[in-house]
Structure 1
């Protein structure tokens, strides 16, 4: 075999191999167009557009581990109890010709290892809002307390419809509540507790909030038509020194759904920002006429409580809260209660 024949044979072999590879070559398909999630900054941080719509969505919530404790046996035969809670919030917002449209869902799941070990799922809040009109089931204006974990100044989760006007330094709202099975019947059970029940009634709330520079004032009034009693509350908050001073006062005409702990009460707290991570909040509250007779009228013993709450930001999104309160009510044993909480917010 001469050199010419060898070269021709090699060229033919290479051509055959190249042809086979060309026949088996994979041609990549053109990528299909994709619609990436867009950030929606019109309603604050954390919102993004639902693809293909002009509706913005935000997902958040928290995971909480907490241990409650008392020097009294308030959990059956035990004086402490641990539980875990998960909260998932979904908020939707969009602009419409009638104003901002909001949908809000907050789902809770509580797992109580000191009790039944069952997980209790429930809607903590679920409502819709268009402009100033709001309807659904949610925590009412009484739920706004003062800083710390010492005060007891109201709070209900009710099914309601409201109208809220929001200005630059002035907010006002009126709300109609459904009060089902919350009417005072004047019955005391074997444990000395009030028995509620019967009837489907309504309640009315009205609030005015004003911002005055570094201070703000809330005036809240409510009337329970079933019990034909009402309550009013004033709450003042002001920046004082390195912290925030808050004072609250409540008066009830008689037992009602909105406030039934006492005829009147005064509470105060001071949230001291010790460092970027530490906040220390002492607080105290006095209760006058904590007893309720068979007609729903207040009278009898007084009481007070004082405590301290410490908050520590362990890292971004993770916080520790510890609180302890000393309670002294006439006619009852003095006791101390509180909790330790770990919470991851997202």
Structure 2
């Protein structure tokens, strides 16, 4: 009995210890399956689904290096060119953009942001003291785009609806980035009608710029007609831009503008422009990599807005510009552009105040590396 009791007691003790150890064992959970990034080809190349959502995202950007020049030798207010000392001007820019899109019961919901950094290579400035110049190398950062679209509605910072010109680098079409609310109605068959309310001056008044556009795009090319009203000087502007595909390689472009007076959409600058202008441009695609273009634009009756009197002031100057452009794709996502322009007319004639004033040559060599 004593031996039997000892064996049974030992077995019970062993089972108890084994049970305690089993209860204390660490259980390793199986890893959850990883959700790999999925390609979203609904909106074109480069879009991916944000993990865990049905929103597609594309990250893009640009690196630009540009060498520009002009032969302006004075500080006079010559239009349509950047002034400065003689020499090459080097500029480096970097742009990053985010494009997010998803589908809703109201149509495609798009959100777009683009930020730019720019550096002009640094300059020497003369601080306090004689014979000493300090070096400054500052980079500027700016918000280019920040808007969302839902169906035909667009809200945020974008190019003005007035945006539209020739494909050259000499021409002027007016307009800039601006905060706005825009609606576009797609009538089908390549026809669209847009209306935009744009705020050119924060807290100026309750009346925004009113800009309208009718666009027709067909197999032969496109025609865009613009109209705008600016209540600051109670003036309006009209513009038409046409692109006609004469052949598979040759495109003919034309522009015509009219400004009743000074508007924010002026051809030269905000509230600075011309009563009317006419221009044309020819662009020829030599092959898939190389294209060349040339054109001219005439500007009549230069004017500007006088904010003191609230009236449009006219200088009566008639000016003109010609230019040529060579575009070349070096490799995929790396392109080069060479532009040469010449501006002349009444605004460039020598005066007593500016005896060296004359026609201006300008141009640049630009390299764009995009992703």
TM norm structure 2: 0.78
Q: Map Cα deviations across residues 83-117 of structure 1 (whole Å, 9 max, x no partner).
A: 10011110000001121101000110111114442
Aligned to 2:321: 305
After alignment, is 139-148 or 69-78 more displaced? Answer: 69-78
CA positional deviation for 1:143: 2.5
Residue 112 (structure 1) aligns with = 120
* CA distance in 1 between partners of 2:121 and 2:284 (Å): 34
Q: Pick one of 294, 297, 302 that aligns with 1:290.
A: 302
Distance 1:117 1:216, change over 3 A: same
1:32-47 to 2 correspondences below 5 Å: 32-47=32-47
2:244 to 238, 242, 250: 238
2:226 pairs, out of 206, 220, 245, with: 220
Task: Give the secondary-structure state (helix, strand or coil) at the position aligned to 1:141.
Answer: coil
Paired residue for 2:105?
97
CA separation of 1:50/1:300 partners in 2, compared to 1, >3 Å: closer, same or farther? same
SS at match of 2:168: coil
Matching residue of 2:280: 268
Contact 1:48/1:57, CA 8 A, preserved across alignment? yes
Distance 1:29 1:283 in 2: 71
Conserved 8 A contact 2:161-2:196? no
Range moving further from structure 2, 101-110 or 67-76: 67-76
SS in 2 for 1:314: strand
Alpha-carbon distance in structure 1 between the residues aligned to 2:347 and 2:138: 36
Matches of 1:326 and 1:179 in 2, distance apart?
Answer: 30
Decide whether the 8 Å contact of 1:178 with 1:200 is kept in 2: no
Q: Check whether the contact 2:213–2:224 (CA below 8 A) recurs between aligned residues.
A: yes
- Correspondence list, 1:182-221, <5 A: 201-221=207-227
Partner of 2:269: none
Secondary structure of the 2:137 match is: coil
**Conserved? CA contact 2:342–2:359, under 8 Å:** yes
Q: Name structure 2 gaps, 5 residues minimum.
A: 1-27, 74-81, 124-135, 267-271, 349-357
> Cα distance, 1:199 vs. partner?
5.9
Displacement of 1:79:
3.8
Q: CA deviation at 1:331?
A: 4.2
SS in 1 for 2:208: strand
Among 170, 176, 188, the residue aligned to 1:150? 170
Residue equivalent to 1:85: 93
RMSD: 2.0
Instruction: List runs of 5+ in structure 1 lacking aligned partners.
Output: 1-27, 183-197
8 Å CA contact 1:40, 1:48 repeated in 2: yes
Give distance in 1, aligned partners of 2:163 and 2:305.
26
Deviations 1:190-210 (A, max 9, x none): xxxxxxxx6675100000001
State the match for 1:3 in structure 2.
Answer: none
- For 1:143 and 1:312, the matched residues in 2 are separated by 25
How many residues matched? 304
**Could you say which residue in structure 1 is the equivalent of 2:365?**
340
Q: Equivalent residues in 2 for 1:46-57 (5 A)?
A: 46-57=46-57
Calculate the TM-score normalised by the size of structure 1: 0.83
